[in-house]
Amino acid sequence: MKPGSLAHLSLAKLLMAANGVFWLVFAGIFVMGSYAYKAHRLSFEEATPSYIFWGRALREIDSGTGASLPPTLIKVTYAIQKPSALAARPFYWPFNRRGLTVDEQYWGISVGGYYLLLVCLLSFLQWFLVGWLVRKLWHRWRVEHA
């Protein structure tokens, strides 16, 4: 095996690298699909963006701004990162108790944006653990069947 080949990397490292590429592509699509947003008093039944990062906002569904994230991308993201998304759910508990919504902003990032960042961070742990578990099971199976 060559030192530069992928064969010397563990499955966990490969999965985490693939996860990093996934989030870079997601960030690129986010930037391309976002629009300028300024906090304002909402009008009656105005749809608010789910994710706000420092004056850039993104809705999952286009509601007249002309900019939206493809709904399939969000569905695919949450399908792939489901354990991380579920693990991040307790993040909302303090906000729900105080009646704050997903579009409330702190330091330029919405509550929904922080949730997305938390899912992103937890996903690296998720894929590390998946790779580690698969490797352990593979080694155990090889020892038992050798």
Predicted confidence (pLDDT) per residue in 60-92, tens digit = 554 444 445 556 677 788 889 999 989 988 887
- 50/80 Cα distance (integer angstroms): 19
In a domain, 42, yes or no: no
pTM: 0.75
In a domain, 136, yes or no: yes
Closest CA to 83 of 22, 142, 130: 130
In a domain, 41, yes or no: no
| 26-40 pLDDT, tens digit each | 888 888 877 787 776
In a domain, 4, yes or no: no
In a domain, 117, yes or no: yes
Q: Which domain holds residue 132?
A: 11-35+47-144
Q: Is the dihedral of CA 17, 21, 26, 28 positive or negative?
A: positive
Number of domains into which the chain is organized = 1
Q: In degrees, to the nearest 5, what angle opens at C-alpha 74 toward C-alphas 71 and 90?
A: 135
In a domain, 114, yes or no: yes
In a domain, 6, yes or no: no
In a domain, 108, yes or no: yes
